[in-house]
DNA sequence: TCTTCATGTTTACACCCGTAATCGTTGGCT
DNA sequence: AGCCAACGATTACGGGTGTAAACATGAAGA
């Protein structure tokens, strides 16, 4: 199940708060994306069709909730990138970011703490 | 300049070895992708049109070489993912991989070495 | 020189994606 | 009971992508 980037914005709203009506989603998402309500409705429907979210009737409208967990999505995306660009290895990725100067001292400190936590 | 995933496979061949003829690329790439020669030709042409590679005549054929550096592509892709999924911060990404159990002891050792290298 | 083969160029086509308008239905108000 | 507004469903459409065939051109061999 492939979730497109536009669709993932809608998923983002549902991952943050759940369940939401179409109106809620549009409110959350239209700002910042500049989408019309119609666009949000289309995305909701595509997500429904591919089974990424579920709809449950609530009076005259539906409430939507995610069926795909955020973790699963993040996992698929980041593993894909790691495999495609870094031969599946994490260290080269970290090394890459260190070389492009994208690491603040806080990042480094946090990473260090993390890594030490891994040690048995 | 957006390089699609299929196109990036062709770029991959050129980043590994350069310059290459269309035939070379097809040989490198068709295996593993299951593409016909025609498909590879199309991708080469699209890359030419968007200026991602250059062609230089070599007798009856052309030799191709990348104009976009692998580093630039990797940078754009991975920064994009980091921003979209991890709020631009590296530590959560590393943490994510540690939790999904994708880290071998060698990975950890290598990361540790890296991080220590960052320290002043 | 004529034909054939290799190589690059053009065209094709179905599907996905971003973006949206229109249609249809149903509950609520008058 | 009839009309209106809200909401979801259907349809639209241009552009990109994956995949590939058809066409053109020029060089090499017969």
Q: SS3 sequence, chain A?
A: CCCCHHHHHHHHHHHHCCCEEHHHHHHHHHHHHCCCHHHHHHHHHHHHHCCCEEEEEECCEEEEEECCCHHHHHHHHHHHHHHHHHCCCHHHHHHHHHHCCCCCHHHHHHHHHHHHHHCC
Spatial CA neighbour of B94 closest among A73, B118, A101, B85: B85
Contacts of A94 in chain B (CB under 8 A): 90, 94, 111, 114-115
Residue A52 CA from chain centroid, whole number: 12
**Of the ranges A67-76, B55-64, B91-100, which one carries the lowest mean pLDDT score?**
B91-100
Distance, in Å, from the CA atom of A90 to the CA atom of A83, rounded to the nearest integer, reads: 9
Q: Which fold has domain B5-66?
A: Arc Repressor Mutant, subunit A (1.10.10)
Distance, in Å, from the CA atom of B52 to the CA atom of B56, rounded to the nearest integer, reads: 14
Per-domain residue ranges of chain A: 5-66, 89-120
- The length of chain A in residues reads 120
- According to the model, what pLDDT value does residue A100 have? 78
Instruction: Give the pLDDT band of residue B99 (cuts 50, 70, 90).
Output: confident
C-alpha to C-alpha distances, A44 to A5, A9, A23, A76, A109, nearest whole angstrom: 13, 10, 11, 21, 40
| B80 Cβ contacts chain C strand, under 7 Å | no
Per-residue pLDDT of chain A (120 residues; tens, 9 = 90+): 899 999 999 999 999 999 999 999 999 998 789 999 999 999 999 999 999 999 999 988 999 999 999 999 999 999 989 988 888 888 899 888 888 766 888 888 888 888 888 765
Looking at the partner chain, which of B5, B75, B118 has a beta carbon nearest the beta carbon of A108?
B118
Distance, in Å, from the CA atom of B96 to the CA atom of B86, rounded to the nearest integer, reads: 9
Residue predicted with more confidence, A94 or B102: A94
CB B15 within 8 A of CB B66: yes
A2 CB-near residues (< 8 Å, 6+ apart): A50
| Residues linked to residue A57 through DSSP beta bridges, in sequence order | A62
CB A25 within 8 A of CB A10: yes
Output b/e per residue, A93-117; b: 16+ Cβ within 10 A: bbbbbbeeebbeeebbebbbebbee
| B42 Cβ contacts chain D strand, under 7 Å | yes
| A36 Cβ contacts chain C strand, under 7 Å | yes
Query: pLDDT tens-digit profile of B8-43?
Result: 999 999 999 999 999 999 999 987 899 999 999 999
* H helix intervals, chain B: 5-16, 22-33, 37-49, 70-86, 90-99, 105-118
Q: Which residue, counting CA atoms, is nearest to the C1' of nucleotide D7?
A: A61
> What are the tokens at B17?
């070895």
Looking at the partner chain, which of A81, A110, A115 has a beta carbon nearest the beta carbon of B111?
A115
Residue predicted with more confidence, A64 or B113: A64
Say if residue B120's pLDDT is above 80: no
| B77 Cβ contacts chain D strand, under 7 Å | no
Instruction: Centre a 10 Å sphere on the Cβ of residue A11 and count the other Cβ atoms it contains.
Output: 21
- According to the model, what pLDDT value does residue A12 have? 95
Instruction: Give the pLDDT band of residue B117 (cuts 50, 70, 90).
Output: confident
- According to the model, what pLDDT value does residue A2 have? 94
Looking at the partner chain, which of A8, A85, A111 has a beta carbon nearest the beta carbon of B90?
A111
- According to the model, what pLDDT value does residue B103 have? 80
Size of interface A-B (CB pairs under 8 A): 87
């Amino acid at each position: 199940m492939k979730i497109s980037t536009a669709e993932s914005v809608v998923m983002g709203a549902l991952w943050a708060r759940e369940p939401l009506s179409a109106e809620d989603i549009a409110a959350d998402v239209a700002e910042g994306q500049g989408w019309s309500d119609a666009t949000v409705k289309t995305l909701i429907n595509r997500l429904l069709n591919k089974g990424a979210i579920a709809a449950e009737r609530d009076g005259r409208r539906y409430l939507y909730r995610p069926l795909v967990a955020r973790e699963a999505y993040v996992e698929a995306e980041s593993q894909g990138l790691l495999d495609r660009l870094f031969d599946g290895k994490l260290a080269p990725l970290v090394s890459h970011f260190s070389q492009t100067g994208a690491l603040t001292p806080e990042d480094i400190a946090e990473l260090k703490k993390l890594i030490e936590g891994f040690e048995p």
